[in-house]
Structure 1
Amino acid sequence: MTMKSPSPPPPAANSSSDADSSRLIVSDLWYSDGNLIIETADSLFKVYSGLLAQKSSVFRDMFSFPQPNENARDIPTVRLFDQSDELTWFLKAILDPEFFEPPPSTSDLSIVGGILRLSAKYDVSFLRKRALLHLGTTYPSTLTAWKRRDIHRSIPPLDNTPFAVLPLVREFDITWALPAVLYCLCSYTVPQIYDGVDWRERHITINPEDRRRVLVGRAELVYLQTKLSARFLRHSPHSDCTSPSECIEQRRKWLNEASGWDVADPLDYLDVNWDSLEADLCLACFTQSRSDTEETQREIWDKLPLIFGLPSWTELKMLEEEAMNPH
C-alpha cells in the first residue's frame, strides 16, 4: 500500500460519513486515501488499517471482525478510548518513521510515556523497545552509561523529572531502571520526597513504598558520601609525589569546596572538578586519587539495588535483556 502525505479534508468532510463535527480532525493523521477512521472522545484520525494491522497484533485481530457501521459506502470506523494526545503520538510513531526515532534522536518524556503505554496495550514491540531505549539513556543499568548520561540522554532534563519517571517505571515493570531512578530521587530534599513536587503543571507524589525506599536509601547514600570524603581527605600522598605538602593542602581545599554540595550524590560527588584538581595536584597523586574514587563509586553502584531493597544487578539485567529481546 502506498501511503500519501496526510492532507486536511475539505470543509464538507465534517458533515460526511467520514467525520463527526463534534470531534477535532487531527490533520497530520488524516490521509486522503486512508481506509479506516479512528475516533476518540474528541478526535478523529483517517489512517491505513493494513499498516496498523502489520505492526500490531491487537489491531490485526480487531480489524478481522466487521465494524458496526461498516457498509459498502462508509469507511470503517473504530472507537478507541485512549487519550487523544497519546494516540496521536502512537499513530505518528507507526506511520511516520521520523517522528519517534531511537536514540541518539531526542524525544520528550510525555511522548515516550504515551508511546510506551499504547505500544504495550496494542502489542507494538518495536515501539516499546524504542521507548525503553530512550528511558535507558538517562536511567541506565551500568555505571559506565550512568557516567555518560549527560552526553547520551535523549530525553532533555527538566526539573523534577525523576518524580514523573517513577510512575512509568512502576506501571510497566521497568524494574532494571529503578536503582537509577530512586538514586536520582535521593538528591532531593526530605520535604520534597515527602510532599512531592510540581512537574509540568501537575503535582506528583511518590507512592508510600518507594518513598520509604528513597528516604532509607538517601540516609545510606549520605553516609557513603561522607565516607568517600573522609577517604579522599585522609589519603597519603603517593610515593612518587613531587610536592607532598602542596598536594595535601590542595586536596583539603578542594574537598572543602565539594563539601558544600548539599545533595546525596556520591556517584558524582567528586566528579565535578576533576580538571581543576588535575591542575592542582601532582600527576602521581591525581592519578591515585581518581583511581581510588572511581573504585569506590563502582562499589557504591554495585550496592544500589541492595540499598533500595531491590533484586541484584544480575537479576535486573536479566529482566532488561528479556524485555529488550523477547523470544
Structure 2
Amino acid sequence: MEDAPQTKRRRTDTDIDPETKPEAEMPPTRSTEYWFDDGNIILQVESTQFRIFRGILSLHSSVFRDMFTIPLPKDEPTVDGCPVVVLSGDTAEDWVLFLGVMFPKYHAGERATVLLLQALFRLSRKYDFALFRKECVRRLKQEFPSFTEDSDDDLSGWKLLDPENQDMYLPLISLAREVGLPSMLPFGYCSVISLYDGPAMEKVLDPSDLSVHPTDRLACLLGYAKLLKLQSTTILEWLNLDDGSPDLPATDCETPDACCAAVRKIASNPDPGEICVLKDWNADWNNKMCSCCEERAKSVYAGGREDCWAQLPDVFGLPDWDELQSLDFE
C-alpha cells in the first residue's frame, strides 16, 4: 500500500541514563487527552503514548486491521497489559489532531483548521483511513471549487475552514499538490493573487521564501498579469467606453450622457490591480446609472466572470477543467 507505515514494537531500554538519551529515546509520556483506561492498544508516536481501541482503529483503517491479524509474540513487552505499536515517521501533534476527529470533542459544524486538514490527510493516506480522507477531500473541494453553477455567487471567503489568516491559501495549495488534487489549483492561485497586497502575495513575491514551491510562484506571477488583461475584456468590459464598448449605454437608455459619465467615474475609481473573478457585483456601483444600464452592466459582469472562470486553468498554465478533474487522485 502507498505510504505503508513503518511500525515496530516498543523496546525497553534501562541501560541508558534518561538524562543523556536523545529526544527520540526519552522515556515515553502518556497523552493527557487520549489515554483511555479501558483501551486495549497503545500507539507510541515520538515520545507520546496514546491508549485507544483496536476495534475502532480496525473499523476505519485497513492498515491497522491487517496489522492486528498478526499474533503477538508471547514475550512481547506491554504497558498496563496493552501491546505497544511504535509509529515511525509520524508526529505526536498530527495524531492529537487526528484523534480529536476520531473521538470528537467539537460540534460537527465547527470549522477545521489547515493544520487539522494536513494531519488528517497525512495519516488517512498513510494508514488508509478512507472515510476521513474522503471528508478531507470534500472540505478542500468545497473551499477550492473546480466549477460553479451560479457565477453570480461571491466565491471569496471560507465555507468549512477556519480562516486563521490570509496566508492559508499557500499551505492549502501545497497540500493539494501533495495529495494529488490538481483541480484545486486554479481557484487556489486565483485566491492568492486576489490578495496581491496581503501576506500570501508577499510570500509569492519573495524569491527567498523557500516555503513557496517554484511552480506555484511562477503560476501566480504570470497568471496575475494574464488575468488582469483577461478581465478587462470580459468582466469589466462595460467600463471601456473610450474603446468603443458595445455594451453601454443600453439601447433603451433615456439618459445616455449621464450614464456614460457615471461609468467613466466608476472606471476611474477601481483599483487597477484588483482581481474580480471571485467577487460578486460591487454594491457601490448600484444606482450610479439608470436601471437599464445597470442591468446591462451586471449582465456583462456576470457573463465575464463565467468566461474568466472557464479560462482560469489556462491563465495559470494548467490543463482545462475536465482534464484537471480527471487527474485528481480522489
For the Cα contact (< 8 Å) 2:237–2:300, is it kept in 1? Answer: no
Residue type of the partner of 1:216? L
2-structure distance, mates of 1:268, 1:92? 33
2:293 is aligned to: 285
1:155 aligns with 2:166: no
Shift of 1:32: 1.3
- More deviation, 236-245/284-293: 236-245
1-structure distance, mates of 2:79, 2:227? 67
Shift of 1:120: 0.8
CA pair 302-153 structure 1, distance change in 2 beyond 3 A: same
- Runs of 4+ in structure 1 over 6 Å off: none
CA pair 72-215 structure 1, distance change in 2 beyond 3 A: closer
For the Cα contact (< 8 Å) 1:237–1:244, is it kept in 2? Answer: yes
- More deviation, 206-215/70-79: 70-79
For the Cα contact (< 8 Å) 2:31–2:49, is it kept in 1? Answer: yes
Query: Which of 262, 273, 278 is the aligned partner of 1:262?
Result: 273
1-structure distance, mates of 2:135, 2:312? 26
Residue type of the partner of 1:92? G
Shift of 1:71: 6.6
1:85 aligns with 2:78: no
Shift of 1:145: 7.4
Query: Which of 228, 232, 244 is the aligned partner of 2:239?
Result: 232
Residue type of the partner of 1:300? C
For the Cα contact (< 8 Å) 1:52–1:94, is it kept in 2? Answer: no
2-structure distance, mates of 1:299, 1:148? 16
1-structure distance, mates of 2:138, 2:181? 11
Residue type of the partner of 2:204? I
1:168 is aligned to: 175
Shift of 1:148: 4.2
Query: Which of 315, 321, 325 is the aligned partner of 2:323?
Result: 315
Helix, strand or coil: the match of 1:76? strand
1:186 is aligned to: 193
Helix, strand or coil: the match of 2:43? strand
2-structure distance, mates of 1:279, 1:83? 56
2-structure distance, mates of 1:23, 1:72? 11
2-structure distance, mates of 1:151, 1:131? 18
Shift of 1:191: 5.9
Query: Which of 105, 125, 128 is the aligned partner of 2:133?
Result: 128
For the Cα contact (< 8 Å) 1:70–1:76, is it kept in 2? Answer: yes
* Structure with more relative contact order (C-alpha pairs < 8 Å, separation 6 or more): 2
1-structure distance, mates of 2:118, 2:112? 10
1-structure distance, mates of 2:238, 2:72? 70
1:217 aligns with 2:223: yes
2-structure distance, mates of 1:145, 1:100? 30
CA pair 133-72 structure 1, distance change in 2 beyond 3 A: closer
CA pair 196-47 structure 1, distance change in 2 beyond 3 A: farther
1:13 is aligned to: none
2-structure distance, mates of 1:293, 1:72? 66
Provide the aligned length of Structure 1 versus Structure 2.
291
Helix, strand or coil: the match of 1:311? coil
Helix, strand or coil: the match of 1:78? strand
For the Cα contact (< 8 Å) 1:37–1:44, is it kept in 2? Answer: yes
More helix by share: 1
Shift of 1:151: 6.2
CA pair 71-192 structure 1, distance change in 2 beyond 3 A: closer
Helix, strand or coil: the match of 2:136? helix
**Structure 2 counterparts to residues 20-35 of structure 1, below 5 A:** 22-35=27-40
Helix, strand or coil: the match of 1:80? strand
Deviations 1:269-297 (A, max 9, x none): 6x462x33222222211111111111111
RMSD: 2.8
Residue type of the partner of 2:226? E
2-structure distance, mates of 1:168, 1:61? 28
1:177 is aligned to: 184
Shift of 1:256: 1.8
Residue type of the partner of 1:266? C
2-structure distance, mates of 1:230, 1:107? 39
User: Tell me, which stretches of 5 or more residues in structure 1 are unaligned?
Assistant: 1-19, 198-202
Sequence identity percentage: 26
